[in-house]
């Protein structure tokens, strides 16, 4: 009997041919063809709404393509079947972790791998598979550790291990999709991830790498595929690309970087002294004797790993929570923990979660555009909404802030139909455009702006083309919490420039961000938050990337003491 010749490994481990997907009149994917080789990192780039998420959802079986075929390792991949994708060796690590915090690492890895009718659990075998896989790829995590007690970097390791461990199915992932994998990591954790990625690829794993951080894309990828408006516009070797080229391919035009203007900070707008906030379910204060001073015309950035008190600080500065200790003043006055009072004082907010907190998705765009000021005389009379005035304001906002996706139904477009980037532009416009005044009323600036900028003479600086007197002026304080999270490079540049323009016009900006590149690009001063404590706010030039990364993990000596010097 002749010796059996093993089947030849296909040139591509994954091949997408002519993939198209439509949602009504919207063509999300238009005849896209891609391939992925063994041991290759293919970066997938595109603006928000370019079709990346739709394409990945089709690949993973969450959507069914209207046209086209997918092959994995030379075999057809059944459409609309996530179990088939997993069985074929396709795994995915989502940007927002999908772990159960109240379970152990081992329990999370085993979740969904055993049938309900099985009379016993094979925990010993699962533990062995977890430990062996972790050791093989440098992803060591204690199996019995509670996920809630893990750092962000450790949680990401668990997510990757869930995809790689073969326990409970035929094989672990041989194709791994990483969606914005460094979005919440410190610089040191990002370096650890890149080392792990290199080891995975050297072992033959193929990776689809989705990121808006072009430096990372150029560093880790072998090839880059760029989508624009649902179409594949370029596939090129990473060695032949640079940031400017990729940005232009994504957007279809050159993307100018945000330009900072040199200016001296003005009067104190907001001041916290020993601010303390307690929470019943937290073992320590979520804000622990925090002190900081914000001045007109400056950007003060707060860096830190998610969950260290930044959200609590943002909520306090928007009137959502009252302090349990310490003092907080805006323009020299204490304000009640009532959001309306903060809006009236000239405080604008850009919340972290645009979907759950920033907008009401089922309301039309025009209602979301006036949501925080709908009861003011500009938009209501005797308790009845002035629809014409509100819609005119929304149209001006859409034009000024280039909010796309409303071409069909205009201001009546449901807000949930907007892409993430355009939803963020809507929120930004709502924060930065002052309320129109009723007919016949004097066009005074907001109270917060007068106090921060020294009087009406400063207002004209904040005017923008196409807005007129209705939109003149800037807020006294802008609390921007992760303002560009998940946005493409074009939208990021736009948001950055709008914040810098508002700052130059006299606004104080508190920027809370986990993107250190963003912080260094915008901030005049930087402070780092860890376990509810804040380091001293120092000029941006005084910080290095390594020093910030160390501080984000609590590596600064006596953070409690320096928080009192954060003025």
Structure confidence by residue, pLDDT tens digits, 11-35: 689 999 999 999 888 899 999 999 9
Maximum alpha-carbon separation in the chain:
99
Query: Confidence band (pLDDT; 50, 70, 90) for 561?
Result: very low
3-state secondary structure 149-178: HCCHHHHHHHHHHHHHCCCCCCCCCCEEEE
Q: Which residues pair with 257 in a beta bridge?
A: none
Percentage of the chain modeled with pLDDT above 90: 42
Question: Pick the residue with more confidence: 33 or 402?
Answer: 33
CA distance 412 to 406: 8
Ranges 220-234, 248-262, 281-295: which has the least confidence: 248-262
Give the pair of three-digit tokens for residue 409.
Answer: 């139904």
What pLDDT is stored for residue 192 in this prediction? 80
Question: Pick the residue with more confidence: 335 or 555?
Answer: 335
Closest CA to 203 of 40, 324, 81: 40
What pLDDT is stored for residue 199 in this prediction? 86
Domains of the chain: residue spans and CATH: 14-251 (3.40.50.300), 268-563 (3.40.50.300)
What pLDDT is stored for residue 318 in this prediction? 93
How far from 307 is each of 320, 324, 487, CA to CA, in Å?
17, 19, 21
Closest CA to 39 of 236, 221, 205, 209: 205
Global pTM? 0.71
Closest CA to 448 of 507, 379, 510: 507
Residue 420 near residue 487 (C-beta atoms within 8 A): yes
CA distance 514 to 496: 15
Residue 348 near residue 479 (C-beta atoms within 8 A): yes
How far from 517 is each of 390, 403, 453, 498, CA to CA, in Å?
37, 25, 29, 17
How crowded is residue 555: how many other Cβ atoms within 10 Å of its Cβ? 14
Over 50: is that where the pLDDT of 442 sits?
no
Secondary structure letter of residue 146 according to DSSP: B
Over 50: is that where the pLDDT of 439 sits?
no
Query: Confidence band (pLDDT; 50, 70, 90) for 169?
Result: low
CB within 8 Å of 7: residues ≥ 6 apart: none
Tens digit of each residue's pLDDT (9 = 90 or more) over 33-67:
999 999 999 999 998 778 898 999 999 888 999 99
Query: Confidence band (pLDDT; 50, 70, 90) for 116?
Result: low
Give the pair of three-digit tokens for residue 428.
Answer: 């930004």
CA distance 427 to 366: 12
Q: Which residues pair with 330 in a beta bridge?
A: 270, 333
Query: Confidence band (pLDDT; 50, 70, 90) for 190?
Result: confident
What pLDDT is stored for residue 259 in this prediction? 79
Query: Confidence band (pLDDT; 50, 70, 90) for 288?
Result: very high
What pLDDT is stored for residue 452 in this prediction? 34
Provide the CA 421 distance to its chain's centre, in angstroms: 10
Task: Output the CA torsion 349→351→357→362 (10° steps).
Answer: 80
Q: In what order do the strands lie in the sheet with 287-295?
A: 287-295, 268-277, 325-330
Over 50: is that where the pLDDT of 224 sits?
yes
CA distance 433 to 397: 7
Over 70: is that where the pLDDT of 289 sits?
yes
Give the pair of three-digit tokens for residue 41.
Answer: 């990192």
Give the pair of three-digit tokens for residue 227.
Answer: 């989508």
Closest CA to 521 of 493, 502, 501: 493
Residue with tokens 């979660």: 353
Over 60: is that where the pLDDT of 188 sits?
yes
Over 50: is that where the pLDDT of 548 sits?
yes
Closest CA to 293 of 271, 314, 274: 271
What pLDDT is stored for residue 40 in this prediction? 94
Q: Give ∠ CA 60-64-67 in degrees, rounded to 5.
A: 120
What pLDDT is stored for residue 209 in this prediction? 93
Average pLDDT, the chain: 83
What pLDDT is stored for residue 95 in this prediction? 67
What pLDDT is stored for residue 557 in this prediction? 41
Over 50: is that where the pLDDT of 403 sits?
yes
Q: Give ∠ CA 337-342-348 in degrees, rounded to 5.
A: 130
Ranges 155-169, 210-224, 357-371: which has the least confidence: 155-169
What are the phi and psi torsion angles at 258 (to 5°)?
Answer: -65, 140
Q: Which residues pair with 302 in a beta bridge?
A: 512, 527
Give the pair of three-digit tokens for residue 368.
Answer: 């979301």
CA distance 114 to 397: 52
CA dihedral (348, 354, 356, 361) positive or negative? positive
Beta strand ranges found along 119-222 (DSSP E): 175-179, 206-210
Tens digit of each residue's pLDDT (9 = 90 or more) over 315-354:
999 999 999 999 999 999 999 999 989 998 999 999 988 8
């Amino acid at each position: 009997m002749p010796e059996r010749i093993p089947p030849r490994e296909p040139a591509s481990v994954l091949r997408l041919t002519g993939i198209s997907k439509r949602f009504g009149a919207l063509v999300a994917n238009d005849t896209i063809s891609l391939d992925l080789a063994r041991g290759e990192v293919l970066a997938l780039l595109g603006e928000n709404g370019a079709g990346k998420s739709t394409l990945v959802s089709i690949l993973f079986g969450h959507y069914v393509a209207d046209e086209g075929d997918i092959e994995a390792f030379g075999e057809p991949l059944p459409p609309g079947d996530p179990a088939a994708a997993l069985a074929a060796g396709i795994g995915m690590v989502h940007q927002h972790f999908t772990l159960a915090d109240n379970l152990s690492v081992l329990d999370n890895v085993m979740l969904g791998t055993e049938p309900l009718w099985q009379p016993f659990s094979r925990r010993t075998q699962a533990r062995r598979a977890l430990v062996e896989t972790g050791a093989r790829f440098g992803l060591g995590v204690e199996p019995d550790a509670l996920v809630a007690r893990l750092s962000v970097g450790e949680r990401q390791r668990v997510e990757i291990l869930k995809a790689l461990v073969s326990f409970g199915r035929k094989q672990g992932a041989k194709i791994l999709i990483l969606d914005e994998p460094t979005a919440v990591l410190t610089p040191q954790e990002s370096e650890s991830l890149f080392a792990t990625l290199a080891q995975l690829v050297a072992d033959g794993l193929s990776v689809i790498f989705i990121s808006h951080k072009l430096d990372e894309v150029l560093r880790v990828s072998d090839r880059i595929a760029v989508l624009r408006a649902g179409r594949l516009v370029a596939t090129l070797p990473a060695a032949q690309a640079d940031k400017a080229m990729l940005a232009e391919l994504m957007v279809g035009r050159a993307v100018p970087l945000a330009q900072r203007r040199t200016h001296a900070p003005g009067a104190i707008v907001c001041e916290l002294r020993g601010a303390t906030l307690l929470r019943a379910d937290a073992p320590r204060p979520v804000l622990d004797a925090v002190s900081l001073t914000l001045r007109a015309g400056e950007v003060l950035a707060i860096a830190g790993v998610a969950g260290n008190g930044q959200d609590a600080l943002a909520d306090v500065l928007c009137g959502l929570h009252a302090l349990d200790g310490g003092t907080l003043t805006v323009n020299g006055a204490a304000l009640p923990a009532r959001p309306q009072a903060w809006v009236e004082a000239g405080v604008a907010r850009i919340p972290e979660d645009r979907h759950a907190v920033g907008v009401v998705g089922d309301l039309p765009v025009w209602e979301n555009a006036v949501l925080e000021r709908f009861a003011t005389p500009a938009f209501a009379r005797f308790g009845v909404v002035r629809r014409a005035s509100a819609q005119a304001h929304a149209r001006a906002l859409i034009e000024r802030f280039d909010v796309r996706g409303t071409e069909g139904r205009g201001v009546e477009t449901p807000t949930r139909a907007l892409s993430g980037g355009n939803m963020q532009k809507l929120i930004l416009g709502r924060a930065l455009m002052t309320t129109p005044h009723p007919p016949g009323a004097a066009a005074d600036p907001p109270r917060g702006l007068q106090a921060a900028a020294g009087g009406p003479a400063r207002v004209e600086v904040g005017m923008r083309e196409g807005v007129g007197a209705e939109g003149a002026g800037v807020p006294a304080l802008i609390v921007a919490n992760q303002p560009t999270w998940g946005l493409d490079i074009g939208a990021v540049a736009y948001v950055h420039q709008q914040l810098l323009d508002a700052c130059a016009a006299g606004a104080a900006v508190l920027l809370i961000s986990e993107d250190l590149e963003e912080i260094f690009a915008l901030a005049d001063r930087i402070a780092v938050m860890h376990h509810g404590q804040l380091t001293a706010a120092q000029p941006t030039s005084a910080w290095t990337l390594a020093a910030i990364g160390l501080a984000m993990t609590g590596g600064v000596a006596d953070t409690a003491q320096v928080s009192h010097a954060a003025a």
